[in-house]
């Protein structure tokens, strides 16, 4: 988590934040974002097989 905190502190977006910006501009959909990413706090995008939980 330290790397994520450090990059966020200097303004680097994570994959989900970048994808949400693309959705706001009509480039992708929220369904697609939820399919390929997860939200650390809410568990969005996680599957029953544990995909996306390695980090």
Q: Would you give per-residue pLDDT tens digits along the chain (55 residues)? A: 799 899 999 999 999 999 999 999 999 999 999 999 876 655 555 454 444 444 4
Q: What pLDDT score was predicted for residue 30?
A: 95
Determine the structural domain holding residue 26 and report its residue range: 2-36
- Asked if residue 53 belongs to a domain, the reply is no
Which residues are CB-neighbours of 33 under 8 A, at least 6 positions away?
A: 16, 19, 20, 23, 45
State the total domains in the chain.
Answer: 1
- Asked if residue 42 belongs to a domain, the reply is no
- Tell which residue, 12, 53, 18, 14, has the closest CA to residue 32: 18
- Asked if residue 25 belongs to a domain, the reply is yes
Q: What pLDDT score was predicted for residue 21?
A: 96
């Amino acid at each position: 988590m330290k790397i994520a905190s450090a990059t966020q502190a200097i303004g680097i977006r994570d994959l989900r934040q970048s994808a949400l910006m693309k959705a706001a501009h009509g480039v992708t959909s929220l369904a697609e974002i939820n399919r390929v990413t997860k939200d650390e706090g809410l568990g969005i995008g996680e599957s029953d097989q544990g995909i996306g939980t390695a980090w």
